[in-house]
Amino acid sequence: MNILFGVGKENIGSKVMNLANAGDTIKACLLVMGTATGKVALVSAASNATPIAITTTAAHGYSPGDIIVTGGIGGNLAANGTWQAGSGTSGTTLNLTTFWDGNNSTGSGAYTSGGYCVDITTASTITDLGGNGGSNGNGTDVSITGQSIAAFGVWNASSWTWTGLSATKSYAIALYDSSASNDLIAWIDGMCQVYVITQAASTSTAIAVSRLANCS
């Protein structure tokens, strides 16, 4: 999984959430991220600057320090990823800084269209993302089976198939605990930011990278 939601970290840490076989019912929701709702905001601009300043279509409610996932942003592709909301974030403005060290992001081109933001820190239930039959859900949520906890805390489950899908692009999967008030567990979008871990010469054709701390 890419990243745990804030409530997921808390509930797993307190062992309130039972991921083991015959434990809580864990569900997977496929998300289209096309509607502003709860902790999801839609993007109307992303500045080609340092830091990248995202403009949302309505007030987003995020605060400096929140961990924000962005995606689907066209043109300024550097704006897509997992970020920390920087200083000056308020209203419809979201300034992107790196989660690892709080450095300013840098744009990679002119914004063209699209994009969403979701606050991983404060989103607590699947309805915060518009899932579970809501405006951002696609198809019928799946109840995961065959759960087991392997060595080093790796969580495994059986493969699943969604039904009732619409012909709409989906951006991510959210896992949630339907036995515990539909609390969010994890966000999975297949993307993971990295950072350069060693100095490389300008003529080098290879660089050493490592995953950010929020990626797992």
Domain 3-188 maps to which CATH number in 2.40.160.60, 2.40.128.110, 2.60.40.60, 2.40.30.180? 2.40.30.180
Average pLDDT of the residues in 16-21: 85
CB distance 19 to 8 below 8 Å: no
- Rounding to the nearest 10 degrees, give the CA dihedral for residues 146, 192, 69, 64: 120
Alpha carbon distance 114, 109 (integer Å) = 14
Give 82-118 pLDDT, tens digit per residue: 999 999 999 999 999 988 778 899 999 999 999 999 9
Give exposure, 108-145, as e/b (b: 16+ Cβ within 10 Å).
eeebeebbbbbbbbbbbbbbbbbbbebebbbbebbebe
**Residue-averaged pLDDT of the chain:** 90
pLDDT value at residue 214:
44
- The tokens for 118 are 């979701």
pLDDT value at residue 216:
40
Other beta carbons within 10 angstroms of residue 72's beta carbon come to 20
Give 166-183 pLDDT, tens digit per residue: 999 999 999 999 998 999
pLDDT value at residue 197:
60
pLDDT band at 19 (very low <50, low <70, confident <90, very high): confident
Average pLDDT of the residues in 146-169: 90
Alpha carbon distance 63, 99 (integer Å) = 14
Alpha carbon distance 107, 54 (integer Å) = 11
Please state whether the predicted TM-score (pTM) of the whole model is above 0.95. no
Domain ranges across the chain: 3-188
In sequence order, what are the residues at sequence separation of 6 or more whose Cβ sits closer than 8 angstroms to the Cβ of residue 216? Answer: 1, 2, 3, 4
